[in-house]
Structure 1
């Protein structure tokens, strides 16, 4: 699967030109893209490209790779955003957020002129929620109440716990993550709105009607899906 991720990341470079502002997503597939982009800048195959990171992780990787970074406040527009996804349905709706950076990812990718998603073929599903839960960033004081409220949507939610630390995962914004497992998400756009209407929810990992291009790494090469 790592080789398939690299194939998709390499293909995404074809969309990058000089003088672009690039939204840099978070996760293993996007990490390959960031490193490859950095090499293009180092060899001067690309010039005057700046990245807007979606997380501390992507910011550190961008700097290590030689990509100059800017903030959302410093730019007038974002030309392209590149990120991965945990699930992609046939209508190009996404579930994202396993890296706990979903809020800034959505802010930046919503504002990008073109949003390109990099996945391997295992991420293609028949419907959202088929394999992975929906990450929901929540205010810490409200997580238990939100967990109970999610039962209205026939969802079971668990507080995401840290792997190399005691206690829950803390986002870059200082919040908690609930992972909500749905039986089936029939209407992703409606569900995205409904979840964000719950008091205490900061953002959720359903990205409906936002992706423009999906680059899928397969054993036969890169497959392009377009809205």
Structure 2
């Protein structure tokens, strides 16, 4: 698998390490992205060897891959709980001394609403990443999924709280990106996010916002693939 950004070997190590945490009978949240894809492929190989699990995909992309590798699928409302969620991140706050250590920015694939639902429902949520995703302080644009009729109103409110919103445009077709839920995405630049929990709360309160890409206090650990192993950050 050829992926953009970061080392393929590092991504593979992180994804495969997370797959090792899955036990027989688990319900597993299947995140979205190139690093998580390695975990899904590893789980598919384990299923071929006799592992019995059910997966809850967070996007069309992860659903399609899970079906290709033979993972039985289910939904949140059909299970009593999620044992483990495995998901990637666009950026991980990696300074243990800073506010929001382990906070994430997600949504590069516009799947963050479903990802947050599944990740929050899991008994344990493990992030898989390569070193390029680590930063002392979150600073990437925060994706916000919005109801289509509300995108201009939400954009104005984002400016009121210090952000600069940009409607995400689709590649390969005219018009904006449309999420699996039928909504639009605003990519909102806030510069350095020194207090991610406070910003997450303010964004959640904006009418018209379906969900934003700040994940604060959800991750239990990050598995960082390197060129020669995996580093584990526990939160």
Q: Which of 47, 71, 76 is 1:72 aligned to?
A: 76
Give the structure 2 partner of residue 206 of structure 1: 214
Do structure 1's residue 108 and structure 2's residue 118 form an aligned pair? Answer: yes
Do structure 1's residue 221 and structure 2's residue 220 form an aligned pair? Answer: no
Give the structure 1 partner of residue 21 of structure 2: 15
Contact between 2:200 and 2:216, CA under 8 Å: does it hold in 1? Answer: yes
- Structure 1 residue 164, shift from structure 2 partner: 1.7
The root-mean-square deviation of aligned C-alpha atoms, in Å, is: 0.9
Secondary structure at 1:38 match in 2? helix
- Structure 1 residue 220, shift from structure 2 partner: 3.6
Do structure 1's residue 182 and structure 2's residue 190 form an aligned pair? Answer: yes
Equivalent-residue separation in structure 2 for 1:142 and 1:50 (angstroms): 36
Q: Deviation digits for residues 33-87 of structure 1, max 9, x if unmatched? A: 111110110122x2x2000011111111101110000011110010000000011
Contact between 2:31 and 2:86, CA under 8 Å: does it hold in 1? Answer: yes
Equivalent-residue separation in structure 1 for 2:47 and 2:227 (angstroms): 29
Give ranges in structure 1 of 5+ residues lacking alignment: none
- Identify which range, 182-191 or 195-204, moves more after superposition: 182-191
Secondary structure at 1:33 match in 2? helix
Equivalent-residue separation in structure 2 for 1:166 and 1:38 (angstroms): 36
Under a length normalisation based on structure 2, what TM-score does the superposition of the two structures give?
Answer: 0.93
Contact between 1:88 and 1:125, CA under 8 Å: does it hold in 2? Answer: yes
Do structure 1's residue 96 and structure 2's residue 96 form an aligned pair? Answer: no
Under a length normalisation based on structure 1, what TM-score does the superposition of the two structures give?
Answer: 0.96
Do structure 1's residue 38 and structure 2's residue 44 form an aligned pair? Answer: yes
Q: Deviation digits for residues 191-214 of structure 1, max 9, x if unmatched? A: 111101110000000000110010
Give the structure 1 partner of residue 153 of structure 2: 145
- Structure 1 residue 28, shift from structure 2 partner: 0.9
Contact between 1:23 and 1:82, CA under 8 Å: does it hold in 2? Answer: yes
Q: Deviation digits for residues 140-176 of structure 1, max 9, x if unmatched? A: 1111121122112221110001112211000011000
Equivalent-residue separation in structure 1 for 2:228 and 2:67 (angstroms): 33
Give ranges in structure 2 of 5+ residues lacking alignment: 1-6, 95-100
Large movers: runs of 4+ above 2 Å: none
